[in-house]
A = this chain, B = another copy of it.
Amino acid sequence: MKDLVDRLLAGDAIAAARVMSIVENGRPEATEFMHALFPHTGGGYRIGVTGPPGVGKSTLVDKLALKFRSAGSKIGIIGVDPTSPFSGGAILGDRIRMADVATDPDVFIRSMASRGSRGGLATTARQVADVLDAFGKDVIIIETVGVGQVELDIAEVSDTTIVVLVPAFGDAVQAMKAGLMEIGDLFVVNKADHDGADRAVLEIESILQLKAETDWETLVLCTIATEAGGIDELFEAIGRHRVFLETHALLQDRRRRRIESEVRTLVETRLRQELWGPGGYGELSSYVDLVVDGEETPVSAARRILEAKGLVGVFGGNEI
């Protein structure tokens, strides 16, 4: 293990990829790697890019990464792909749309399949971002493709969250209903050469007025990612948000929240493993049988499990 960590810290991309696989797959040794790498994290700025499918996020990330590269930053990109519900594989070849940076050795692109995991994906993305951070990446862009809770979780993982929309009537309202309006530090209307871009900006701005006032005034920008239009402005806006976070001591606040989340996840995951076994919920089954047979209710079965695990004594009470 130490060898792999040393090689990663020395800049070996193959070692980094192997550690990411270990972390992503939740292998038992993953925590030891996270433990060893943690002191080397903290330098990477994390940018989340999210929005509905089809708005051009991957192209935007590609152009944005190119811009950061020209400013001398080393880049890590995490693509959280939707999983086809049928095959278990990713259904889009989004990496194709990152042609500009896909072959740059200072850009590390990592795709993660969502695998229908609930809640778990944000944790894994956070841990993979930590690995990229320890690997020396200055800027880590986390792109979520698809819709759902994962889109919202990205805000917890990121320093700056960018919500990407396109000019389409009602798009902003849908995004608000999905909770995206709350999490965006920056809003981008991509494909701004299409009809209705100005109206989309106005629509977003009017909805943002409903948001509780904060010191950061959320910006709405227009881009045409396919031809890198508006990317310089977006780059500058990210810089302004970063300065804002730094001057308001919010950057360390966000890092603290991520650490808290990591500690909590580690403790709860370990407890769940001990409760239900490494293979899932095997032991639970016999208790469920008792409920199905009418001998217990779910509540009394839960009490029996806590008793059987010796947890009632530990916690000094038996009321659930």
Contact = CB atoms under 8 A, between A and B. Distances in A.
B263 A301 contact: yes
Interface of A is mostly: helix
B149 A148 contact: yes
A130 to B, nearest CB: 9
Contact of A53 (B119, B174, B264): B174
A314 B309 contact: yes
Interface string A260-273: 10111011101110
Nearest to A116: B179
B297 A39 contact: yes
A177 B270 contact: no
A13 to B, nearest CB: 24
Contacts of A263: 284, 287-288, 291, 298, 301-302, 305
29 contacts: A31-B299, A34-B297, A35-B297, A38-B298, A39-B294, A84-B176, A85-B183, A86-B182, A86-B211, A86-B212, A91-B176, A91-B177, A146-B178, A148-B151, A252-B292, A255-B292, A259-B291, A263-B287, A263-B305, A264-B284, A266-B298, A266-B302, A267-B320, A268-B275, A270-B302, A270-B320, A271-B275, A309-B314, A314-B314
